[in-house]
Amino acid sequence: MEKSSDREFRGEQKIISKGPDEMIRIVLLTFKRAVDKAGGRAKWEALSEQANIQLEQETYKEICAELGETVFQQLPEFEREIASFFAWAGCCMHKELNTVKGGNAEMVKHWEANSLEGPIQLPNRDTAAALTEGAEPAKLVQGGAVNMTSLAGALFNNKDDKKGEQDSIKCTFEEMFRFPVNFPDTSNTRYQSHCEAAAELIVHLPFYKSRLLNHMEKNVQMALDDIPTLQELCVLALFSQIISRPYMRVVHGEGHQNRNILDMGPLHDKVAAHMKKIISDPMLILSPAATFETASMDNLPWDRAEVLYSVWRLAPTMPNLKGLAVAFFIGALETWEGFTAEFLLGGLIACTSLRLRALVWMPTINDVNEGALGSHCVIKWSFPKASELVQISDLRSILVLNPKLMSNRERPNHNAWDYQGHPKASV
C-alpha cells in the first residue's frame, strides 16, 4: 500500500510537470487503456457513466504508478532507501503494559492448570447479596491481584476527588511514617499502576489492612488476608522492580526525549533474555540472597529495595510463589515477543542503516499525543457544561502555552546515543 501510494504520487508529479502536449498524450493513453480493459469500444459504451469514471481513475493510477516507478529507479540509492522505508515501532510504554497483561493472564491460568485453590472472589455489594440468597450472579465474579489493586485504587486514590480516602490516607501515612504517599493511580488506569500498587500494598501491608471498613473495603481486606491473592501481588510487585522500572528508566527516564525508538532493538532483546533467565531460574529473584547485579534487568540498584525485602519476608508463607512467578514470566515473555516483533534481528528496523534511523527519528513513547488528549479530558471534566467550541478554545490555549504537547520535540543529536538509548562516553 505504501509503495503503490509513493509511486502513484511520484508519477502524478511527473505528469503535472509536463507540458500540455505530453499531458494530452497521457489523457489519450488513459482513455485507450480504459477502453481496452472494458473489453472494447462497444462494451465501454455499454457501461454506466459511473463505471466509466471508476475505470478511468483506476487506469490513471496504474499509469501514474508506472511513471512513478521509472522516476523512483532514477533516484540516488539513499533516497530510494528513504522512500521505501515504512516501519511500525509502537509505544514502549504500551509494550510494557501489554506484557504485564499477558503475564497476569498466564498467572491466572496457573491456579486451575495445577489444581490449586486460587484467589478469593471479590463480589460487589449487589452480587454478594445475590450469592447470599443462592441466586446466580449476572456477571462472573472475579478475584486476584489485579482486581484487588483496582479496588484499592478506587479506595485510596479515586479518580473522582469527591470519593475515596486519598486525603485521609496521605495525612495518616505522613503521621505514621513521616512522609506522604500517593497510592498508585489504578483508578485512572495509569501505566505500571497495578504493579506499583501491588508493591505499595506488599510493603505497607499492615497499614492498609487497618484502613478497611465498608463493603468495598471489606473486599480489599479479605484479599489482603488471602494467601493466593497476596502471592499474585508479590509477583506483580517483583515484575515492577525487575523489569518495568529498569525498562522505564531508559524509555521514559531522564533524556528520553532525545532517544530514538528505532534504536531500542538491543534493549528489547535484553528484556526478553532476562525474562528467559528468570523462567529458567526463578530463585534469581525469589532468593533472599538475590542482588540487583543479577536480578534486575539493567543490573542497577533497585528502585524500591523495600519491595524485594517485603516479598522475601512473606515468601516462606507462600507455597505457590515460585510457580506463579514462572507462569507470569512465561506469559509476559510471549506477549513481549509479540509486541516487539518489529525489532527482531533480520527485520526491517534491525536492517535499517544508522543514517536512515536517525533521519526518521521517532520518540520512544506516545506522550505527545496522549498529553494533548489528556488535557482535553481534564477540560471536559472541569467544565462539563461548556460547549465543544469553548473546550477546544481552552485546549488550544494550553497547547500554545505548552507547545511540547502539540508537536514533536526538537530533533536531537542522534550520534550522542548508543543502541540502548544511553549517552555515549564523551571523547
Average pLDDT per 10 consecutive residues for the chain, totaling 427 residues: 81 88 88 90 89 91 91 89 85 92 95 92 71 60 86 86 81 86 81 90 90 72 89 96 95 88 95 97 96 95 95 96 97 96 91 90 78 64 71 62 46 42 41
Return the pLDDT at 6.
86
State how far the Cα of 122 lies from the Cα of 219, in Å rounded to an integer: 6
Q: What is the pLDDT of residue 334?
A: 97
Helix axes 321-339, 227-239, angle to 10 degrees: 40
pLDDT at position 426: 39
pLDDT at 166: 83
DSSP per-residue codes, 51-108: HHHHHHHHHHHHHHHHHHHHHHHTS-HHHHHHHH-------HHHHHHHHHHHHHHHHH
Cα gap 123→119, rounded to integer Å: 12
The identity of residue 94, as a single letter, is H
* Alpha helices, H only, 116-226: 125-132, 145-156, 166-177, 193-203, 205-209, 215-224
Grid cell, residue 420, equals 540502548
The Cα–Cα gap between 26 and 311 comes to 74
Quote the pLDDT of residue 423.
43
Phi first, then psi: give them for residue 143, nearest 5 degrees.
Answer: -135, -155
Which residue in 6, 3, 24, 4 sits closest to 15, CA to CA? 24
pTM over 0.75: no
417 in Cβ contact with 424 (< 8 Å): yes
How remote is the C-alpha of 333 from its chain's centroid? Answer: 15
Question: Rounded CA gap, 329 and 315, in Å?
Answer: 18
Which residues in 369-398 are b (16+ Cβ under 10 Å) and which e? eebbeebbeebeeeeeeeeeeebeebbeeb
